[in-house]
Amino acid sequence: MLWFKCITFRLKINIHCSGQDTCHSLRDTPVAVIDAVNTASPVTYYVHTDHLMRPLKMTNAAGAVAWDVVWKRFGETFSITAAPKLDLGFPGQWTQSENGLAWNWRRH
């Protein structure tokens, strides 16, 4: 994954290695995920966060919930209802579902 940061607007764009998905953040808060994998027309999901800036839900353009998570007390996931994948947790943290580790800025 590559992270680009524009200091002026503090806009982060996360481009996955496949070059197909992008995750947009504004002021360190995730706001949208654009899913372009295996489709001719990209799908935009809007990210809804809690007061800690952890993602809680993703909705599509029609407002239907496409992804939902219930968090445990210290950031582990209790349950995920998902079609698209969102691996973000607390700000600066993302979970690798392949091995269960969480990446925290510069370390696991």
Q: How far apart, in Å, do the first and last CA atoms of the chain sit?
A: 15
* E strand or H helix at 59: strand 55-59
Report yes or no on whether pTM surpasses 0.85.
Answer: no
Mean pLDDT value of segment 82-86: 71
Residue 67 has pLDDT above 80, yes or no: yes
- What lies within 8 Å, CB to CB, of 52 at 6+ separation is 90, 91
- Domain hosting residue 13, numbered range: 2-104
Reading the block at residue 32, the tokens are: 């949208």
Residue pointed to by tokens 């809007």? 46
d(Cα 101, Cα 12) in Å, to the nearest integer? 23
Which phi and psi (to 5°) does residue 106 adopt? -125, 10
Q: Provide the pLDDT confidence category of residue 78 given band limits of 50, 70 and 90.
A: confident
Total domains present in the chain: 1
Mean pLDDT value of segment 48-66: 87
